[in-house]
Structure 1
Amino acid sequence: MPDTDCDFEITFDQQRLDFRTVSDWLMASYWGGKRTDALHRSAFANSICAIALAEGRLVGFGRAAGDRALFARISDVIVAPNHRGKGIGKALVQALLAHPELATVSTWTLNTADAHRLYAQFGFRRVHDGNEMRLDR
């Protein structure tokens, strides 16, 4: 756990997830505005979810999805507004990258409009090589 000015824990136990809160956060985000609870339930069930808790209350969330062998995509990293700037987002990413079920993953991807500095700390870089392609439906 990184040095922070608040105590928190990271868990992967989805039984401890406050689904209502994280789904609301994501639907209020710039990237999740068109999502539904049903989409979140499916996405979370098919992902490794990192949950940040402070005094038992949800303060952050992130997830990784993929084949758990060769590739994974980090998505939905979000921290409660009153807990931002305390290292929680960094701890969530670090926990996902270190998860034992993802140990053999060699290709990690993500998409962000505003958190490039966070991910750059872990070696993520913008892709400009012309090989990466994307389909948005």
Structure 2
Amino acid sequence: MITLHITTDKSDLDIDLIHAFLANESSWAKGISRQVVERSIEHSLCFGGFVDGRQVAFARVITDRSTFANLVDVFVLPAHRGKGYSKRLMEAVMSHADLQGLRRFTLATGDAHALYAPFGFTSPLKPATLMERYFPGLYESTAGERLNE
């Protein structure tokens, strides 16, 4: 059985791989610039999943490490899916010491509800209390070009 080594050491992350996946393969960050990816990693708690020293998975948590966290940018490279790596990555995220005792832990997903439900994620209890500003395709638009610089 191949094991997934998970680390939160940002110096171990393969930024080229993360950027390439987000910019080219993700449905949520198409066209994102490397500079934005680097800045997002710098200001987040990140989890890299490695097999034989090569990164195959990633997750990022935006958090104050006290009251709130938002899970984003979760992926396992296509060639490594179906091996339980996403579950292992989620176990590492949910057991991290800085993510315990939070009042609210959020995420948005279009198709991975079955992955997150066993970790206690549900639809919002009071959806009418939540609001958002959402700009899908931002990184591919001309407005996104200004933000990506």
Is 2:26 aligned against 1:25? Answer: no
Aligned mate of 1:115, from 108, 112, 116: 112
Identity of aligned residues (%): 35
Larger radius of gyration: 2
The 2-side partners of 1:128 and 1:99 are apart by 24
The 1-side partners of 2:122 and 2:16 are apart by 33
Larger mean CA deviation between 79-88 and 122-131 belongs to 122-131
The answer for the alignment partner of 2:130 in structure 1 is 132
The answer for the alignment partner of 1:41 in structure 2 is 38
Q: How does 1:1-137 map to 2 (within 5 A)?
A: 5-28=1-24, 29-127=26-124, 129=126, 130-137=128-135
| Higher helix residue share | 2
Contiguous gaps of at least 5 residues in structure 1: none
Conserved 8 A contact 2:68-2:102: yes
Report deviation, 1:6: 2.5
Deviations 1:1-42 (A, max 9, x none): xxxx53211111111111101110111211010311111111
Q: Which amino acid aligns with 1:136?
A: Y
Q: Which amino acid aligns with 2:2?
A: C
Aligned residue pairs total 133
Structure 1 segments, 4+ long, off by >3 Å, are: none
What's the TM-score, normalizing by structure 1?
0.91
The 2-side partners of 1:43 and 1:57 are apart by 21
Contiguous gaps of at least 5 residues in structure 2: 136-149
Conserved 8 A contact 1:66-1:73: yes
